[in-house]
């Protein structure tokens, strides 16, 4: 399929690893201009170097999206350096699993601040420009965990449920307001990234046990392709939702 990514400005949060990194690299190969945002600027710089040395365009924006003023500044700085943002990929996220009983509630706060508030701050910062230009695309990376709740995942489930509800309500506002802005919800199943490695050891063991039945998890590139697919559609086509699991994932 012919894609229309050439010279599109795409801001990807959580671009320092996993799905965000894969999306940034793939979009750059399709000719898009990439804003790479995350906290680990060393990782972002090496991704940007790879992209530019292969003839692509990418710049680094160190940002912690849990801070609303950082989100506001991020959008302004990206637009100053790269031009008006065509696509925002709200991908940054954390998954810290374990039972509710005796959970360290700091982990809950981190997930709510990154997965929910961070995504909302970024969207809030982005919308005035897109509405003014009457074009734009907001892509929110949720999860199968936004549809199916399981034991030991209550707060992660709650954050991704929130992402799904926020995205659907936003879609109504933007479509009903004839703003020209598209929204897409991406819901991956198990993807092989570093996401699990940020968990406490006992949680990592429990997660790996749960995933043991899946011979092949998705690759970050599998999700990147679905994001590129959504962006590549003609302006009148809004791909609202993509749910994508490994073939062997049951649940
Ligand atoms: N892997 C899966 O199985 C899976 C399944 C369903 C959904 N997802 C979702 O996919 C998204 C990407 O996850 P992934 O699997 O690619 O994991 P990952 O490799 O751990 O990537 C997470 C990204 O989020 C960034 N991030 C975390 N906290 C941040 C903060 N406060 N401010 C800015 N950036 C922050 C990290 O960058 P820094 O640490 O450099 O800031 C990193 O780039 C997440 O929303 C996750 O919930 C993943």
| Per-residue pLDDT at 124 | 98
pLDDT at 39 over 70: yes
Strand positions, DSSP E, 134-213? 136-141, 181-188
The percent of residues above 70 in pLDDT, for the chain, comes to 99
| 229 part of the active site | no
Query: Residue 4: pLDDT band by 50, 70, 90 thresholds?
Result: confident
CA atoms of 238 and 54, how far apart (whole Å): 31
Our answer on whether the CB atom of 218 is closer than 6 Å to any ligand 1 atom is no
Which ligand 1 atom is nearest residue 198's CA? 20
Ligand 1 contacts CB of residue 146 (under 6 A): no
Closest ligand 1 atom number to CA of residue 223: 10
Is the predicted pLDDT of residue 1 greater than 70, yes or no? no
With 0-12 / 13-18 / 19 or more C-beta atoms within 10 angstroms meaning exposed / middle / buried, residue 27 is: buried
Distance (Å) of CA 194 to CA 8, 68, 147, 191: 28, 25, 22, 9
Query: Which secondary structure element, helix H or strand E, spans residue 10, and what is its range?
Result: strand 9-13
Q: Is the CB of 207 under 6 A from ligand 1?
A: no
What value does the mean pLDDT take over residues 153-169? 98
pLDDT at 67 over 90: yes
Cα(174)–Cα(177) distance, integer angstroms: 5
Confidence of residue 111 (pLDDT cuts 50, 70, 90): very high
**CB-ligand 1 contact for 127 (6 Å cutoff):** no
Q: Is the shortest distance between the CB of 136 and ligand 1 below 6 Å?
A: no
Residue 122 has pLDDT above 60, yes or no: yes
Among 13, 14, 125, which is best to mutate for testing ligand 1, by the most ligand atoms less than 8 A from CB?
Answer: 14
Start-to-end CA distance of the chain, whole Å, equals 31
Q: What residues does each domain of the chain span? A: 9-244
Separation of CA 17 and ligand 1 centre (Å): 7
pLDDT tens, residue by residue, 179-225: 999 999 999 999 999 999 999 999 999 999 999 999 999 999 999 99
Model pTM?
A: 0.98
* Residue 179 · residue 131 · CB < 8 Å: yes
The pLDDT, as a whole number, for residue 2 is 54
Q: Whose CA is nearest to atom 42 of ligand 1?
A: 14
Q: Which of 8, 33, 38, 156 is catalytic?
A: 156
What superfamily does domain 9-244 belong to in CATH?
NAD(P)-binding Rossmann-like Domain (3.40.50.720)
pLDDT higher than 60, residue 65:
yes
């Amino acid at each position: 399929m012919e894609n229309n990514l050439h010279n599109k400005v795409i801001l990807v949060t959580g671009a320092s690893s996993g799905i965000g990194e894969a999306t940034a690299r793939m979009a750059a190969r399709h000719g898009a201009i990439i804003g790479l945002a995350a906290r680990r600027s060393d990782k972002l710089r090496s991704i940007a170097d790879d992209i530019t040395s292969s003839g692509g365009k990418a710049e680094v924006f160190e940002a912690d999206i849990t801070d609303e003023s950082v989100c506001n500044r991020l959008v302004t700085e990206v637009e100053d350096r790269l031009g008006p943002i065509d696509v925002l990929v709200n991908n940054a996220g954390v998954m810290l699993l374990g039972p509710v009983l005796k959970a360290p509630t700091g982990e809950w706060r981190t997930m709510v601040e990154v997965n929910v508030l961070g995504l909302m701050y970024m969207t809030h910062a982005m919308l005035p420009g897109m509405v003014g230009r009457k074009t734009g695309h907001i892509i929110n990376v949720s999860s199968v965990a936004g549809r199916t709740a399981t034991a030991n995942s209550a707060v992660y489930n709650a954050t991704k449920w929130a992402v799904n509800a926020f995205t659907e309500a936003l879609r109504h506002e933007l479509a009903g307001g004839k703003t020209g802005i598209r929204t897409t919800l991406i819901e991956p199943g198990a993807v092989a990234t570093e996401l699990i490695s940020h968990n406490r050891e006992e949680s990592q063991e429990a997660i790996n046990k749960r995933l043991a039945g899946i011979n092949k998890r998705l690759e970050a590139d599998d999700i990147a392709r679905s994001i590129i697919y959504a962006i590549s559609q003609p302006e009148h086509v809004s791909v609202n939702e993509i749910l994508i699991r490994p073939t062997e994932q049951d649940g």
